[in-house]
């Protein structure tokens, strides 16, 4: 993982005034690797990352959750999130998905508005949504923090 990618995601989160995030950089544990799928189990990684405070762990390997072919990320409410850049082609899209995952960490659900919290399970869907929160989600966040 390039340091620069992490730093730029950090400033993207600050720009939308998301509170301090512990940007993790560590080795993925081998027990979380499913060799038949060739992917890491995102749920196991989230457990591995357990630590107090909000965090975003960005990895460059492909991750999945049971029942899905792959996921871009996985978040635990008020804990932290993991984001894989494996399928994300540009810095802009990485930042967008980082904001999306941190939105979940802050308690937001998926949103149908023109909003970064829109559900996206394909690159096209990621590209079509904005990198900021809609009015409704902004309010929800500010009421919680």
Which residues does the annotation mark as catalytic?
101
Region binding Zn ion by CB under 5 A among candidate stretches 1-9, 13-21, 82-90, 130-138? 130-138
What's the CA gap between 82 and 85, in Å, rounded? 10
Query: With binding defined as CB under 5 A, does residue 111 bind Zn ion?
Result: yes
- Interface with Zn ion (CB under 5 A), residue from 16, 123, 132, 134: 134
Question: In terms of CB distance, is 28 or 134 closer to Zn ion?
Answer: 134
What's the CA gap between 58 and 83, in Å, rounded? 5
Region binding Zn ion by CB under 5 A among candidate stretches 21-29, 77-85, 124-132, 137-145? 137-145
What's the CA gap between 77 and 107, in Å, rounded? 6
Q: How many CB atoms within 10 Å of residue 136?
A: 13
Query: With binding defined as CB under 5 A, does residue 137 bind Zn ion?
Result: yes
Residues 56-95: x where in contact with Zn ion by CB under 5 A, - otherwise, as a string = ----------------------------------------
Query: With binding defined as CB under 5 A, does residue 21 bind Zn ion?
Result: no
CB of 4 vs Zn ion, minimal distance in Å: 25
- Interface with Zn ion (CB under 5 A), residue from 54, 58, 74, 117: 117
Residues that bind Zn ion (CB under 5 A): 111, 113, 115, 117, 134, 137
């Amino acid at each position: 993982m390039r340091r620069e990618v992490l730093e730029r995601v950090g400033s993207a989160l600050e720009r939308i005034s998301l509170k301090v995030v512990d940007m993790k950089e560590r080795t993925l544990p081998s027990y979380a690797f499913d060799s038949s799928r060739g992917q890491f189990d995102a749920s196991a990684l989230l457990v591995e990352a357990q630590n107090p405070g909000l965090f975003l762990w960005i990895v460059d390997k492909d991750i999945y959750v049971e029942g899905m072919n792959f996921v871009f990320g996985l978040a635990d409410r008020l804990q932290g999130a993991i984001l894989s850049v494996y399928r994300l082609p540009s810095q802009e899209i990485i930042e967008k998905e980082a904001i999306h995952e941190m939105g979940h960490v802050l308690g937001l659900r998926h949103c149908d508005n023109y909003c970064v919290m829109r559900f996206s399970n394909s690159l096209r869907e990621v590209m079509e949504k904005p990198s900021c929160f809609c009015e409704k989600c902004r309010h929800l966040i500010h009421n919680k923090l």
